[in-house]
């Protein structure tokens, strides 16, 4: 671990960021450039004292989990991420499709979306980041582990996943999910984690085998869909997708028709958030 270089690197990255770069209000005039230490600590999920000690060359070696948090909080590129791993005495992860590293460009856009649900997805439909309205509408999609991190896998194995959609849309979603998984498998060259998910689903029963054998091909996202909130009921949204250059990650933005009951439902969600509605 190179404490001196780490401290200098963290300080430089912190001072190069503006609050708007990470979704924070500009607030009052700042005496120093960039973010405050307590703001970075809040983004990363560590104490301000711990972060300050890293910048002062006094901190202990951060865990790999903490390095991941620093990478996201400071909006590091892949090259900067690998540099941070080396400075903290860890081996950088192998670069591959399906990486946990969220595109900084997509994160910058996500940070600016606070009035409509938005989330960043991998090509395996794994939720890599969500804004607060996406959590309020869809639940915390990042809580899943293992193969269940993929919405494609959950659709065929977890009944709760289908509760997000009206029953009459399940047939369409069945083919859409299989089609998305087939696209991910193709982009991975027929192997890797997509193949692991396919093999696991083929062992679950006839439903997946039947739809998979039809070689369904549809566009990856519907232009418009209906989602079912447990308290507010069906909410119709338009879907806009912004892809990274290699198509491995997507920023999905869900917007209601202005002035519609759906817009009012999302406005209410923005006020109430993830709290339970009164009976």
| Same domain, residue pair 165 and 207 | yes
| Same domain, residue pair 17 and 124 | no
| Same domain, residue pair 58 and 134 | no
In this prediction, residue 83 carries a pLDDT of 87
Does a structural domain hold residue 97? Answer: no
| Same domain, residue pair 175 and 254 | yes
Query: Largest Cα–Cα distance of the chain, in whole Å?
Result: 64
Does a structural domain hold residue 279? Answer: no
- The CATH number for 149's domain is 3.30.450.180
| Same domain, residue pair 62 and 184 | no
Does a structural domain hold residue 165? Answer: yes
Does a structural domain hold residue 151? Answer: yes
- DSSP class per residue in 39-95: HHHHHHTS-HHHHHHHHTT-PPPPPHHHHHHHHHHTT--HHHHHHHHHHTT-PPPPP
| Same domain, residue pair 154 and 253 | yes
Q: Which of 87, 114, 140 is the last residue of a domain?
A: 87
| Cα distance between residue 64 and residue 82, in whole Å | 12
| Cα distance between residue 206 and residue 150, in whole Å | 20
Which residues partner with 119 through β-bridges?
130, 252
Does a structural domain hold residue 228? Answer: yes
Does a structural domain hold residue 81? Answer: yes
Say what the pTM is.
Answer: 0.67
pLDDT by 10s per residue, the chain, length 279: 888 888 888 888 888 888 877 877 776 666 767 888 888 888 888 889 988 999 898 888 988 888 988 988 888 877 788 888 888 989 887 755 556 678 888 888 998 898 899 999 998 999 999 999 999 999 999 999 999 999 999 999 999 999 999 999 998 899 889 888 888 887 777 788 889 999 999 998 788 988 888 776 665 677 899 999 988 999 999 999 998 877 788 999 999 999 999 999 999 988 877 565 544
Does a structural domain hold residue 95? Answer: no
- CB within 8 Å of 191: residues ≥ 6 apart: none
| Same domain, residue pair 260 and 128 | yes
Q: Which of 37, 59, 87 is the last residue of a domain?
A: 87
- The CATH number for 61's domain is 1.10.260.40
| Same domain, residue pair 136 and 265 | yes
| Same domain, residue pair 143 and 224 | yes
Segments forming the whole domain that contains residue 41: 3-87
In this prediction, residue 279 carries a pLDDT of 43
In this prediction, residue 218 carries a pLDDT of 64
Does a structural domain hold residue 31? Answer: yes
| Same domain, residue pair 243 and 116 | yes
Domain count, the chain: 2
| Same domain, residue pair 111 and 65 | no
Residue reference for tokens 């903290």 = 88
Closest CA to 74 of 102, 50, 32, 95: 102
Q: Which of 87, 119, 154 is the last residue of a domain?
A: 87
| Same domain, residue pair 190 and 83 | no
């Amino acid at each position: 671990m190179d404490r001196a270089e780490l401290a200098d690197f963290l300080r430089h990255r912190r001072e190069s960021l503006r609050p708007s770069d990470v979704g924070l209000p500009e607030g009052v005039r700042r005496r120093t450039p960039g973010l405050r230490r307590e703001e970075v600590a809040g983004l990363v999920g560590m104490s301000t004292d711990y972060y300050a000690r890293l910048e002062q060359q006094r901190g202990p070696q951060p865990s790999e989990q903490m390095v991941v948090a620093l990478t996201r909080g400071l909006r590091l590129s892949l090259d900067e991420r690998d540099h941070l791993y080396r400075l903290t005495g860890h081996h950088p992860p192998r670069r591959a499709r399906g990486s946990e590293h969220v595109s900084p460009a997509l994160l910058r856009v996500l940070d600016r979306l606070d009035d409509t649900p938005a989330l960043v997805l991998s090509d395996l439909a794994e939720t890599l980041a969500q804004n607060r309205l996406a959590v309020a509408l869809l639940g915390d999609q990042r809580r899943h582990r293992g193969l269940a991190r993929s919405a494609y896998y959950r659709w065929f194995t977890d009944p709760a996943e289908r509760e997000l959609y009206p029953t009459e849309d399940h047939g369409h979603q069945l083919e859409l999910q299989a089609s998305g998984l087939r696209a991910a498998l193709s982009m991975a060259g027929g192997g890797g984690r997509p193949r692991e998910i396919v093999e696991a689903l083929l062992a679950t029963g006839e439903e997946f085998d039947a739809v998979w054998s039809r070689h369904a091909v549809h566009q990856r996202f519907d232009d418009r869909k209906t989602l079912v909130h447990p308290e507010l009921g069906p909410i119709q949204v338009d879907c806009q997708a912004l892809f990274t250059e290699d198509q491995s990650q997507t920023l999905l933005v869900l917007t209601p028709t202005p002035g519609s009951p759906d817009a009012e439902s999302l406005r209410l969600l923005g006020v109430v958030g993830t709290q339970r509605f009164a009976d």
